Chains A and B, each alone.
Chain A
Amino acid sequence: MVNAIFIIVIGLGTAFLLGLLRETWRHTAYAVMLAALAVMAWIAVRWLLFFAVDGAAPVDILTAGTAPPFAINLRLGITEAVLMVLVIVCGLLSAVYMKESLLRLGRRAMSVLLVFIMALCGIIMTRDLFNLFVFFELVVIATAGLILLSENKQALTAGFKYLIISQMVSIFLLIGIIFTYHTTGTLNIDGMAGTSADMLKGAGSLAFFLMLMAVLIEAKPFPANGWALDIYESAHPAFSALFSAAMAGAAAVYAVDKLLLITGPEWLPAVTAIGLISFVAANLLALAQSSDRRTLGYSSVGQVGLILVVIGQRDILGDQYLYIAGGILLSHAIAKAGLYWISGLLSQRDLTAWSALRGHPLLIFAFISFIAMLSGLPPFPSFYAKWELFMALAVEGRLWIMGFILFGALLEASYLFRWFGYILKRETAEEHKDAQILSLAPHKLVVILTAVVVGWGLAYVWGEISVYSNLLYALPLLFALSFVLLDWLPAWIKNTVVIAGMVAYFVVTYPLYDPLQLIFAVIFLLGGAVIFLASYHAHGRRIGFYPSAMLMFAGLSMLIVAEDSFHFFAAWEFLTIGSYFLIIRGKHSEPHALSYLVFSLGGAFLILAGFVVAAQGVQLFNLESLSQVAAPLAPWVFLLLAIGFMTKTAVMGLHIWLPGAHAEAETDVSPMVSGILLKAGLFGIMILLMNMGKQQLYGVELTYIMLWIGALSAFLGNLMAAFQEDAKRLLAYSSIGQMGYALFGLALMNQLGWMMAMMFVINHYIYKSMLFLSVGGVAKRTGTREMYQMGGLIALMPLSFIAVLIGIIAVSGVPPLSGFGGRWIFYNAIMSSEYRLPMILIFLSGPIAFLYLFRLIHTIFLGQLKDEHRKLKEAPFWILLPQMIYVAALMVFALVPGLALRKVDAYLNPFFTDHGLNWEGLTITSDYGYWSPVSIMIVIAVIFGVLFAWLLFVNRKAQKVKQFNIVYSAERPFRPETTHFAWNFYAPYRKAMGFLMQPLVTRFWAAVTDLLHTLADLVRRFYTGNGQTYAIQLLAFVIIVYLFKMEF
C-alpha cells in the first residue's frame, strides 16, 4: 500500500513542479495537474477500499522518524479515507470543470488549486494542533487565490473579507493553541485527549474554547458567516462547489470533530446548539433569496450546521455515528457540488433563469437527484442517516432537537422544490429571451453526471450497510427507476409496459395480501392500471410522466405491504415525491404543487416523529407494535401520526393544498392523485387505529376529535364544492368532503363505521376517477373548465354524459348504485353510536353534496349549447374507455357489494366488539333493517323504465327549437360571465351560508408563509456586506457563546 503521505507529497511536489514550466505551456501544466490529482485520488481510493473491504485498522503515519507526541503524526482510518476521497475527487472534478479559467490564469492558479486540495487532506489527516493551524492557513490563502478564477469582479471583495476574518480566526486559534499546549504539555490531539480532565479546567478550558471557536468559524456557523456567503455567491461555481463540499462540509467539520476529542462530552451541547441555529436560520434566510449561488450558500451553511448537530450528538449515537454523519455529509457534498456545477452552465444568476434547463431531461434528473439528497429523501444516504439520527434522539428524549431539525428541513425542502417549480414552469424573462442562458460544455456535463452516478451509488452503499433491507432492491422502485432509462421510448409503448407491469405485479403478489390490504392493492394496482388506459390518448414521448407516476405507484404498492415503520415511511416518501412530480406537470400547477409538497412533507415529518418516538430505539419496529406503546407516549404518538396521515386526506384546516393540486393536474393525473393517492392517507389512519385504538390525551378522546374533524370536513368540503365555478375544482372540494365521511366512519371505531369507510374507499376511487376523466375529457374538448361556459353538451358527448350521470348517482348515495350502500351502512353505523351532534353535520352534508352534483350535470350537459361548441366531438376514446369500465364496475359493485366487503367484514370482526353485518346470499342485514342490492336495482330499474317510457310517449311530438341570441340591454356587461344563469348558481345559498366559506384557513397559512418570508428578509439584512461588520459579528459571536457557556 502506498504511504498516504504521498498524497501530500504529490500535491505539493506537483505545485512546485509547475513553477518550472514556461508560463505559456498552459495545457501541459493543466495535464500535469490533472494527473497529479488523479494519482492522489487513486491512493486515497486504495486506502478506502483497504479499510472498507478488508476492515483494516487505522494506521498512524509518523514523520521525522519520531513517535508522537514529539513529532507530527498523521492518521488514516476509514473516516479519513472517505473524506479524502471526497475532497480529492471533488477537486479533480472541479479542476476538469474549471478548465477554461485555469488555463486563463495559468500554472500559478493550478499550483494554488493543488495546494488547496493537499491542505484539505492535511487538515483531515493531521493529529497535531499546530499543524492543523498551518493547513488551515494554507486553505485560507489558497482560497484567496482561487477566488480570482471567478469572472465576477465582486469576488475580489469577498476574498478580502475572508482575509479579514482569517486574521481574526488565526488570533483566536494561536492564543488557544499556545495556552492549551501550556496546560497539557503537548500539541498532539490524542495526547491532549489522554491528559486528565482536570487539566482543562479554568484557563485551559478557556484556551480550548478559543480554539474551538476558531475552527467552528471555518465551518461557517450562523451568524458569523457573512463572508462565506459572499464567497459562495461570487466565486467560480466549481470553486464554490469545492468550498462547500470539501472545505466546509468535510475538512472543517472533521477538524471540529477531532478537537472535541480533547474535552470529551463537555462541549457537545454547545456545538449542537450552534449547529441547530445555523441549520434553521440559514434555511429560513434562504427563503428570501433570489440569486441561485447565494441560495446554495445558505443551504450549504444549513447542511454544515446539520452535520455539526450530528457531531454534537455523537455521545448518544454510538456505533451509528459515522453512518449518520457520513450519510448527511456525503449527500450534502455531492448535491451541493452538483448544484454549483449546474449553476456554472447558466449565465443568469436569478433562480428563475434556471428554467433554461427545461428541455434537458438529463439535467432535470440531476437536479431532482441533488435536491432529493439535500432534503433527505429516500433512497439517498441522508434519508437513512436522518432516520437513525431521529431514532437516537427519540430514545434520549431530545425531541426538541428533532423538532428543530424537522422544521429546518421543511423550510429547506420548500425553497428547493420552489426552485424546481421555477425550472419546470417559469418563462424566461423577456429581456433574456434571445440571450443564450445555457451553455453545455461536454466536460462540464460529464462532471455533473459523475456526481449523479456517485450519488446513486452511495444510495446503494448506504442501503447495503443499513440494518434495513436496501430500498434499491424493492422491485416496484426498480421498475419505476427503469423508466428513467426508458424515457426515450414513445409514450404508448411505455404505457403498455406500465399497465402490464402493474397487473403482473398484482397477480404475483396476490397471495401476500390480507383482505384489507387486498382492497387497497386492487385499487392501487389494478385501479391504477385502468386509469393508465386513459394515458394512451397522449402523443409523443411524454418525458418525465412515467418515472413520476411509477414512483408514486411504487410507493403505494410498497406502503400496503410494509411491515415495519422504516419501510412504511420510505414508501410514504416515495409516493409523496412521485405524486408531486405528477401534479407539477399541470399547466398552471406550480404554486399548487409546491403547497402540496410542503404540506405532504410536513405531514410526513410528523409521521416520522411519531414512528421514532413510538419505536424507542427498536430498529425494526413492527407496525403491530404500535399497540404496545406505553401510556405516557401513546397519545402523543397517536396525535403525531394522525395529523400526519390527515394531512394526506386533506381534512379541514390542512386541506388548502388539495383543490389546486387536483384541479390543475393533467386529465389522467387528476384521477390518479384523487381517486388513488388520497387512499394512502386513509390506509395510514386504518393502520393507526387498528393498532392503537382509542387514545386519551388530557382526558379527551382523540378519536372523538377525529370524528368531529371528519364531520366538519364532510360538511365544509361539500359546501365549498357547491360554490365552485370550475368543474375540476368542484370535484376536488368534493374529495375533501368524501374523505371527511371516510374519516368519520373510521373514527366511529365500530365495525359498521369501518365497513362504511371501506365502501367509501372503493366507491370514491371509482366515481371520482370516472368524474375526473369525464370532466377532463369535456374540458379538453371545450378548452375551459368553467362550467358556465359549457352547457348542452349532452347530444355531442353522450358517453361522457352517461358517465357523469352514473357518477353523480353513485356519489349522492341514492339508490340503486353503490353509493347508496355506503350511505346505508353509514346510517346504520351512526345509529349504533352515540355521537349525535357530529351526526347532524354529516346528515346535512348529504343534501349539500346533491347541490353540487346536480350542478355538474345540469350546467355542463343540459341547457343550451354554446355557439362555439357546435362542432365538438365526443371525448377521445382512450379517456372514455376507463369511464365505461367504471360504469360497469359500479353496476357490479352495486349488485354484489359482498364481493369485496364480505371478506373485509370477516377480517375486521376480531378488532371490534360489535358485530358487523349479516351476509345472507344477496341480502345484507343489520340491527336496523336490511339491504338487498339486487331487489333495489330491479325496483329502481322498473320505476325508471316506466317513467322514461312515459316521458318518451308524452314528448313524442316535441320539436327542436332554435336558440336566440340574447343581448344584454344593448350594453356589453363588464364581466360577461356574471349574466350567465349558471354563474354563481347557488347565490341564495351563498347568502345564507357564505359566512362558512370565509377562507380563514387559507388566510391563516398565507399569514404563516408571509411571516416567515418577512422574517427572512429582515434577518438577512444583518449581512451588510461590509467586511468590517462581519469581523465585528464574528467577535460578537465568540463573546456571546462565551457568555452562554459560562452562564450554564
Chain B
Amino acid sequence: MIKNFIVLLFLFGLGMIFSALLLGYTPDSELNLTGRYYAEHTAQDLGAANIVTAIIVTYRGLDTLGEVTVLFLTAAIVGMLLSTGAGKGKSLQRKLSQSGELLTTGSHLLVPLILLLGAYVFINGHLTPGGGFQGGAIIASAILLILLTDPLYRFSHQLISIVESISGLIFLALGVLGIFFAGGFLDNRILPVGELGSLFSAGAIPIIYSLVGLKVGAEFSSMLVNFSETEDS
C-alpha cells in the first residue's frame, strides 16, 4: 500500500509537469518553419503526394532506416531468445483442438486478399494514406491468420530472413546511390520525380517503401513465427 501511495505521489508530480505542459500549450494557427517548408517544397522537390511519406522515406529517411533496423533487431533477438534455451521441447504437451472448417476455408480465402491489400498499401504509400509499415503489418496479419488456423504450421525461417535481408540491403543500396547520383544519402531523386499523383512518381520512394513493406512484413512474420513456435510439442 505504501508503495502504491508513493507511486501515486510521484505520478502526481509528473502530472504537475504534464499539466504545466498542457496549460502552456497554444495550438499553432499557422505551420511552423519546418512544416511550411514541407508543405511548399515536397511536391516540386520530391514529387510525392503524401507529404508524410516524403518525410518518412526521404527527409527523415535515416529515422526510417533506424526504424526498420529496430524491427530487424527485434526479430533477430526474439529469434535468439526463443530458439535457444532449456524450455525447448519441454513445454507441456497441449492437445490442440482442430480448427473449424469455417476458419480453415475462410483463411484460405482471405490470406491472398490480405496479401494483396498489403502490397497495395505499400506500393501506393506515396499517394494515399498508408505505406511500408502499414502494408507490412497487413501482410504479417495474413501470416497471423495462417498461424491461428494451424498453430503447428511451419514457415521457412531461411526464406523469411532472406526476404528481410535482401530488402534491407536494397534499401541501403538505394540510399547509397543517392550519395553518388543525387544530393546525398537516401535522396529519392536517383529516379525521375515524375508527375505528381501518378504511381510511377516520387523517384525512389515507391521502391523504397515497397522494400520497407516487404521487410516489415518479413520481420513481423518472423516474430510471430518465433512466438508461435514456443507452442512446440
Binding site for B on A (CB under 8 A): 3, 5-6, 8-9, 12-13, 15-20, 22-23, 61-66, 69-72, 105-106, 108-109, 111-112, 115, 119, 122, 126, 128, 130-131, 134-135, 137-138, 141-142, 144-145, 148, 175, 179, 182, 185-187, 202-204, 206-207, 209-210, 1032, 1035-1036, 1038-1039, 1042-1043
Contact = CB atoms under 8 A, between A and B. Distances in A.
Q: Report, nearest first, the 6 A-B pairs whose CB atoms are least far apart.
A: A65-B183, A203-B24, A185-B32, A19-B165, A65-B187, A1039-B13
Contacts, number: 194
Given A131-B66, A138-B70, A145-B76, A1043 B24 contact: no
B228 interface: no
Given A131-B63, A138-B66, A145-B73, A63 B186 contact: yes
A65 B184 contact: yes
B62 interface: yes
A65 B28 CA distance: 28
A255 to B, nearest CB: 15
Contact of B33 (A18, A19, A185): A185
Contacts of A18: 165
A1035 B32 contact: no
B129 to A, nearest CB: 21
A20 B166 contact: yes
Interface string B173-201: 10110110011111111000000000000
A13 B172 contact: yes
Given A63-B184, A1038-B14, A69 B34 contact: yes
A145 B154 CA distance: 24
Interface residues of B, number: 65
A17 B13 CA distance: 47
A115 B69 contact: yes
> Which of A19, A126, A144, A204 has the most chain B CB atoms closer than 10 A to its own CB?
A19
A63 B62 contact: yes
Given A119-B66, A135-B66, 11 more contacts: A8-B62, A17-B165, A61-B185, A63-B184, A63-B186, A65-B178, A72-B63, A122-B66, A128-B62, A131-B66, A186-B33
B130 interface: no
Contacts of B72: 15-16, 111, 115
B183 A62 contact: yes
Contacts of B63: 72, 130-131, 134
Contacts of B7: 1032, 1035
Given A70-B38, A145-B80, A134 B67 contact: yes
Given A105-B84, A115-B73, A131-B63, A66 B162 contact: no
A233 B43 CA distance: 53
14 contacts: A19-B164, A63-B187, A64-B59, A64-B186, A65-B187, A66-B45, A66-B187, A111-B76, A128-B62, A134-B66, A145-B77, A179-B25, A1036-B6, A1039-B14
A13 B176 CA distance: 11
Given A19-B161, A20-B166, A138 B73 contact: yes
A3 B183 CA distance: 13
Contacts of A22: 158
B73 A17 contact: no
A70 B6 CA distance: 43
B59 A66 contact: yes
Interface in B32-63: 32-35, 37-38, 41, 45, 58-63
A1039 B10 contact: yes
Nearest to A134: B66
B15 to A, nearest CB: 10
A451 B66 CA distance: 31
Interface in B140-157: none
A62 B184 contact: yes
B213 interface: no
A179 B80 CA distance: 37
A122 B65 CA distance: 12
A202 B58 CA distance: 34
Given A9-B176, A13-B169, A182 B59 contact: no
B140 to A, nearest CB: 17
Given A64-B58, A122-B66, A137-B70, A112 B179 contact: no
A64 B61 contact: yes
A919 B146 CA distance: 110
A108 B32 contact: no
Contacts of A141: 70, 73-74, 77
Contacts of B38: 70
For the residues of B in contact with A, the DSSP-based class is helix
Contacts of A1042: 13, 17
A1036 B10 contact: yes
Contacts of A206: 17, 20-21, 24
B168 interface: yes
Contact of B81 (A23, A115, A148, A203): A148
Contacts of B37: 70
B65 to A, nearest CB: 7
B110 interface: no
A929 to B, nearest CB: 81
Nearest to A195: B33
Given A17-B165, A71-B59, A63 B76 contact: no
B165 A20 contact: yes
Given A63-B62, A109-B80, A185-B34, A9 B21 contact: no
Contacts of A145: 73, 76-77, 80
Contacts of A106: 80
Contacts of A1035: 7, 10-11, 14
Nearest to A142: B73
Contact of B172 (A9, A122, A131, A1032): A9
Nearest to A178: B21
B116 to A, nearest CB: 26
A427 B38 CA distance: 70
Contacts of B25: 179, 182, 203
Contacts of A8: 62
Contact of A187 (B17, B34, B76, B183): B34
B179 A5 contact: yes
Contacts of A5: 179, 185
A3 B10 contact: no
Contacts of B84: 105, 148
Given A65-B184, A141-B74, A145-B73, A105 B161 contact: no
B83 to A, nearest CB: 9
A269 B217 CA distance: 48
B11 to A, nearest CB: 7
B62 A65 contact: no
B34 A70 contact: yes
B169 A175 contact: no
B79 to A, nearest CB: 6
A561 to B, nearest CB: 57
Residue among B61, B62, B165, B186 facing the most chain A CB atoms (10 A cut-off): B62
Nearest to A1028: B3
Nearest to A109: B80
Contacts of B173: 13
Nearest to B79: A108
Nearest to B37: A70
A61 B28 CA distance: 31
Nearest to B167: A16
A788 to B, nearest CB: 63
A105 B58 contact: no
Nearest to B188: A64
A1029 B137 CA distance: 35
A137 B80 CA distance: 19
A1035 B17 CA distance: 12
A23 B62 CA distance: 29
A13 B186 CA distance: 14
A64 B57 CA distance: 9
A119 B6 CA distance: 36
B67 to A, nearest CB: 7
A760 B166 CA distance: 83
A873 B193 CA distance: 101
A49 to B, nearest CB: 22
